[in-house]
Chain A
Amino acid sequence: MEFKEKAKIMDKEAMERALMRIAHEIIEKNKGIKDLALIGIRNRGAYLAERIATCIEKIEKGKVLTGILDITLYRDDLTHASEQPLVRKTEIDFDISDKKIILVDDVLYTGRTARCALDALVDFGRPKYIQLAVLIDRGHRELPVRADYIGKNVPTSLKEAVQVRLEEVDGKDEVVILEQGG
């Protein structure tokens, strides 16, 4: 399947503003940063969680815990995934029990990744609650999942793909819509 770039929906500045707004919303909704921890879903969610944590720390002048979750082993399509998934490390160096966990991912689509992440997280302990923050919500849910914090709502068709590119992985910050060619 060939994809070609259709439109740029977010540039570096817009991404920074969206993450800063999400940071403010997280602080407001949780009434501060007590017991707060951000856990990013590999791969890009992990970098976004770091960035939101940095924003929160700037605003609140306090440390926020962060962790990284690899959900490969919890995928519901593991046995028939066409691409063999690469298993990478989960890095959560603190006890999540009774913490207010903000799960962070780049794109919310079918909701299956979020479901895997919830399954994975509860194996680590019993958080006080779990909220979901995403940079892009592109719709087309297949499970009853919703995000608590959204950078941008982007209505898409099923023929399109949304790609979040980050400095740390892709060399630049932007979000683009790709469309199936041919």
Chain B
Amino acid sequence: MIKWQRKDLVGLEDLSKEEIELILSTAESFKEVSARAIKKVPALRGKTVVNLFYEPSTRTRVSFEVAAKRLSADVINISTETSSVKKGETLIDTGKNIQALNADIIVIRHNSSGAAAMLARNVDISVVNAGDGWHEHPTQALLDIFTLKEKLGRIKGLNVSIVGDIAHSRVARSNIWGLTKLGAKVTVCAPKVLIPPGIEEMGVVVTDNIDEALKKADAVNILRMQFERDEGTAFPEQLEYFKAFGVTRERLQKAKKDIVVMHPGPLNRGVEISSEVADGTNSVILEQVTNGIAVRMAVLFLVAQGRDKK
């Protein structure tokens, strides 16, 4: 087994297959902690985790907060709505101020791609990327992969389809990096306008036919249509999207019987997924939420031990 060396987790693009597997196996051990009567271990006792969120997020922030608390760390939440960022402080200055408070880990969510990496380069403490622009959302992909592995026992050789707004999705990008490194065959499916040019170079198959994407898939990861990012051009109407790409019971009947249905949330019922599918027996959507805690505990634990710290 390899050792974890990094002080940061910025994205899955940088990680080796072995590093991803180490996070997954560590997460497996952490899952049991959340099933105990006393859901807490002292591993990060005395450490401070700062959640620095420049974008609205409830589930990811809460998941990180629960993970940190189950490791006995102290957690501070900074939302930029109510912080000095409003007064014009730069990201690096904010990071250095957090470091000056003797915090140990910053969990950052930012609307600019590359923000986490830039922060990581400029502070000595650990940085965990909780989503940066359209770039990466590594812990989401790790929990998707963890859930998939738990359900199907392996990743290698699986056919995984990612359906939805691929162009604007950091979840898609992180999933593609992670899944292909572990040997899965990935298909992305979206309206042509939402497929970024050159995506094939990441080693994926591209289609704009949802039935095609579902046909051979062992699992489908349905992304949320991010209508709040709509700038009035590329996005189809909600109903139109549902008709053409929505994952419904009728469409699943043509897929493998035990296809695993995933969604990173929040759900737009009747847009990218029907209620019957979201609540159906193939859905692992709520298990993803539970697994997210174990995965984030593993990530916080590992970066806290990162050996490349100055």
Contacts and interface: CB of A to CB of B under 8 A. Distances in A.
B6 to A, nearest CB: 12
Contacts of A73: 33, 41-43, 71, 301
B42 A124 contact: no
A8 interface: no
B3 A123 contact: no
B54 interface: no
Interface in A68-94: 70, 72-74, 78-79, 84, 86-91
Contacts of A84: 3-4, 305, 307
B30 A87 contact: yes
B1 A87 contact: no
B43 A89 contact: no
Given A74-B43, A89-B29, A123-B41, 4 more contacts: A84-B305, A90-B32, A119-B42, A123-B38
Interface string B1-35: 10110000000000000000000001011101100
Main secondary structure of the interface of B (DSSP, over half): loop
Measured as residues with beta carbon below 8 angstroms from the partner, the interface class of chain B is 20 to 34
Contacts of B40: 123
Contacts of B1: 86
A79 B307 CA distance: 11
A124 B37 contact: yes
A125 interface: yes
Given A124-B36, A125-B37, A70 B4 contact: no
Nearest to B72: A73
Interface of A: 70, 72-74, 78-79, 84, 86-91, 119-120, 123-125
Nearest to A78: B43
Contacts of A124: 36-38
A129 B202 CA distance: 57
Interface of B: 1, 3-4, 26, 28-30, 32-33, 36-38, 40-43, 71, 298, 301, 304-305, 307
A74 B4 contact: no
A9 to B, nearest CB: 30
A70 B298 CA distance: 15
Contacts of A89: 28-29, 32
A70 B29 contact: yes
Contact of B29 (A88, A119, A120, A123): A88
26 contacts: A73-B33, A73-B41, A73-B42, A73-B43, A73-B71, A73-B301, A74-B41, A74-B42, A78-B305, A84-B4, A84-B305, A84-B307, A86-B26, A87-B30, A87-B301, A88-B29, A89-B28, A89-B29, A89-B32, A91-B32, A123-B36, A123-B41, A124-B36, A124-B37, A124-B38, A125-B37
Contacts of B305: 78, 84
Contacts of A74: 41-43
Q: Which 6 interchain pairs have the tightest Cβ spacing?
A: A73-B41, A73-B43, A87-B29, A123-B38, A84-B3, A89-B29
A77 B156 CA distance: 37
Nearest to A85: B305
A72 B26 CA distance: 11
